[in-house]
Amino acid sequence: MELIKLLGILIVIIGFALKKDSILIILCAAIVTALVGGLGITGLLNTLGTSFVANRAMAIFILIMFVTGTLERNGLKDAAASLIEKIKGASPGKVIGAYGIMRGIFGAFNVSFGGVAGFVRPIIMPMAAGSIEAKGEKVNEDHLDEIKGMASGMENIAWFFCQVLFVGGAGGLLVQSTLASLGYHVELIDLVKVEIPVAIVAVSVAIVYYYLKDKKLCKKYYSKDRKEEETA
């Protein structure tokens, strides 16, 4: 009958998979687990209270928000846009790659420029499309769709794997607290160090992959790129 203790885990998996309210799922799972695991309501409230207070470090992002909004108000995004516009002789692949590097470096400092809605759509996409038009070609629609997909992919990969380099980021804090509840004590800075190679490989893999893919697509869709290939 030990199996009944897994009911909470089942609730989490099914709940998230069915896209139910996250907070409701977690609360249900906690209540059910506490009841079947013999903690009772008092035990649940005590464990919940103790652990929540022990994990207040995860609320550090609220303190960071104290300046994030005001940075945006003072032209952070405009500065990022003028930084990336400096790359010359661009192709869509190069624009996406340059964005990946910038996103990754700033991501490691927990600085964000607005993601797909705030930066990719208004700044990266016009730059990528412009780089094709600068060569006197009309942008192919299927190619544009692929560029959108690659730019979003670059956004996600650079952000996921570089934000873990911020000392005090949510990911590291959650790993630290998960390990602590199992009796292992780890430091945030050490968690960051082990992620450095992963972040570098992640951004590099994405840049190379999207660059090669875009090069192939350019050859497929535009006559000038084909001709260059023939003469080369």
Partner 1 sequence: MTFFMNSEIMIGAKLLEVIYIIIGLITIYTGVKNGRDEENPSRMGTAIFWCSLGIVIAFGRWIPPMFNGVLIITMTIPSIMQKVKIGKQNPPTQEESKAAFDKIGMKIFIPALAIGICAIIFAVFTTMGALVGVGAGILVSTILLMMFSSNNTPQVFLKDSERLLSSVGPLSMLPMLLASLGAVFAAAGVGQVIASIVGNIIPQGNVNVGIIVYALGMMLFTMIMGNAFAAITVMTVGIGAPFVLAYGADPVVIGMLALTSGYCGTLCTPMAANFNIVPVAMLDMKDRMGVIKNQVIPALILITFQITYMIMFK
State which residue, 75 or 130, has the beta carbon closest to partner 1.
75
Taking the complex as a whole, the smallest distance from the CB of residue 30 to partner 1 amounts, in Å, to 5
DSSP alpha helix (H) spans, 6-59: 7-17, 22-36, 40-54
Nearer to partner 1, 95 or 202 (CB): 202
- The single-letter code of the amino acid at 161 is F
Closer residue to partner 1 (CB): 198 or 226: 198
Using the minimum distance from each CB to partner 1, give the nearer residue, 44 or 139.
Answer: 44
CB of 52 to partner 1, least distance (A): 5
CB of 230 to partner 1, least distance (A): 29
Alpha helices in the chain (DSSP H): 7-17, 22-36, 40-54, 60-73, 76-84, 92-107, 115, 125-133, 141-163, 170-181, 188-221, 223-231
Q: Among candidates 176, 151, 62, 146, which has minimal Cα distance to 110?
A: 62
List the one residue out of 95, 110, 108 whose CA is nearest residue 200. Answer: 108
Please identify, using beta-carbon distances, which residue of 23 and 232 lies nearer to partner 1. Answer: 23
| Shortest spacing between CB 137 and partner 1, in angstroms | 20
214 Ramachandran zone, left/alpha/beta (phi>0; psi -120 to 50): alpha
Q: Which C-beta is closer to partner 1: that of 133 or that of 142?
A: 142
Least CB distance to partner 1 at residue 95 (A): 15
Give yes or no for a contact between 96 and 124, defined as CB atoms under 8 angstroms apart: yes
Task: Give the separation between CA 203 and CA 154, rounded to whole angstroms.
Answer: 8
90: left (phi over 0), alpha (psi -120 to 50) or beta: beta
Q: Which is nearer to partner 1, 12 or 101 (CB)?
A: 12
Shortest distance (Å) from residue 2 CB to partner 1: 5
Question: Which residues are CB-contacts of 143 (< 8 A; sequence separation ≥ 6)?
Answer: 92, 132, 217, 218, 220, 221
* Nearest approach, Cβ of residue 88 and partner 1 (Å): 18
